[in-house]
Amino acid sequence: MKRVITYGTFDLLHYGHIYLLKRARELGDHLIVGLSTDEFNSVEKGKKSYFTYEERRELLMGVRYVDQIIPETCWKQKREDVRRYHCDVFVMGDDWQGKFDYLKDEGVEVIYLPRTPEISTTMIKEELTEL
Ligand code: C2G
């Protein structure tokens, strides 16, 4: 079984997220999502998600491409995670190009996929405030 892992906040889940998850899942047989906790978002990413961790987890569990969800509580957990969950492939959108190449040392294939243009959580929030 080829195991794939990716990470993110996935707030206001939109088709850009879904297309990332779809492509990630197609790279293997089992997709794990490291979902950023509310605390990680506010302390480390400086962003407050609209939906709580539990709500975002519930939404992601409803996505056919997602097989397993683990909490993302710090930047540094990836190395340990790919070992613990025996991951073969690490995937992120290419806005993170090169940032996680160090995981290759763990024998993991690191793949950055093109982001879906014209959609982002920030854009959704901005456009909703203009309604
Ligand atoms: N994404 C995408 N296309 C978009 C928007 C997002 O492909 N239009 C991808 C991002 O590149 C990322 C994933 O969807 O791979 C989740 O996006 P975010 O929730 O914004 O995740 P981010 O804040 O980048 O957190 O440790 C890694 C971080 O947790 C990633």
Q: How far apart are the first and last CA of the chain?
A: 47
* Model pLDDT for residues 4-29, shown as the tens digit of each residue: 999 999 999 999 999 999 999 999 99
Q: Please state the atom number of ligand 1 nearest to the C-alpha of residue 17.
A: 14
* Model pLDDT for residues 36-89, shown as the tens digit of each residue: 999 999 999 999 999 999 999 999 999 999 999 999 999 999 999 999 999 999
pLDDT value at position 93? 98
Q: CB neighbours of 52 closer than 8 A, spacing ≥ 6?
A: 38
116 lines ligand 1 (CB under 6 A): yes
73 lines ligand 1 (CB under 6 A): no
28 lines ligand 1 (CB under 6 A): no
Q: Determine the 3-state secondary structure of 93 from DSSP.
A: strand
CA of 121 to the centre of ligand 1 (A): 10
pTM, to two decimals: 0.97
Q: How many CB atoms lie within 10 A of CB 41?
A: 18
Mutate to test the pocket of ligand 1, among 25, 33, 51, 95 (most ligand atoms within 8 A of CB): 95
Q: What is the identity of the amino acid at 65?
A: Y
CA 53, chain centre distance (Å) = 13
